Amino acid sequence: MEKLSSASTENPVLLYTLEGNVQGLQSIFEDPSDVHHEQCSKLLLEKDLLGRNPLFIACILGRSDIVRALVRYGANINHQTTRGYLPLHCAAAWGHLEVIKTIVDLGGDILLLNFRGEKAYDIAVRYNKTDCADFLQWAEARLTLKNYISFIQQTMSDPEKVQGRLHKEDKHLATNSCKAKIEWLENNKNATTQDFVDQKQQLESTMQSVFTKLNTPRAESGKFKR
């Protein structure tokens, strides 16, 4: 990946990003008397020749504090260039683990793909950034478990899907199983990637009988066999 292109040095947001100057950014965005304050939103979104705004540059340079500041002032953590690259892709390519952790903490989408169909994890693998790849794999395993819990909860709350198909015991099983996994997530901050995989498999096994009932076609009413 290209590191930096000939971005305009007339953009003070970009300059403070390059310098790692959080206080300078704070002045632009929070001080009405700052000469650049009225244009702060425009400056935040200004792109270089490759379609990257200052947030991308902060990720390339490994500046977690600047990333947090730019997002706080309105930068889209999941903004993609025309080729589909995210700030997260850039951080992964340059091996900045702390920036990756910051982006994930701020809600960065670890599953979005670039034009080559690559997630940030794939980028980290391609550039041999092993620690970054390991963390992204861990984050995806955790997200997969969370998403499966949400899927179960949404399914159970949809009357059209569950009415007449499940007994009260089935609903209680689903509710209690999700609650148990949520508590497990809260109480196991140091869980490994394999731990998340195992927990999801356990939940799938527990829910198998419930989803079998939900996927069984309803008997057609008003018809009888001769």
- Start-to-end CA span in the chain (Å): 71
pLDDT above 60: residue 224: no
Whether residue 199 sits in one domain with residue 91: no
Whether residue 20 sits in one domain with residue 122: yes
Summarised one tens digit per residue, pLDDT across range 101-155 is 999 999 999 999 999 999 999 999 999 999 999 999 999 999 999 999 999 999 9
Q: Where does a domain end: 128, 158, 186?
A: 128
Count of CB atoms situated within 10 Å of the CB of 211: 14
Q: Where does a domain end: 103, 128, 153?
A: 128
Q: Residue 46 in contact with residue 13, Cβ under 8 Å?
A: yes
Whether residue 172 sits in one domain with residue 74: no
pLDDT above 90: residue 193: yes
Whether residue 121 sits in one domain with residue 151: no
Across the chain, mean pLDDT equals 92
Give me the CATH number covering residue 105. 1.25.40.20
Measured in whole angstroms, the distance separating CA 30 from the mean position of its chain's CA atoms is 28
Residue 57 in domain: yes
Structure tokens at 53: 């705004």
pLDDT above 80: residue 218: no
The whole-model pTM stands at: 0.87
Separation CA 124–CA 52 (nearest Å): 19
Summarised one tens digit per residue, pLDDT across range 48-91 is 888 899 999 999 999 999 999 999 999 999 999 999 999 999 99
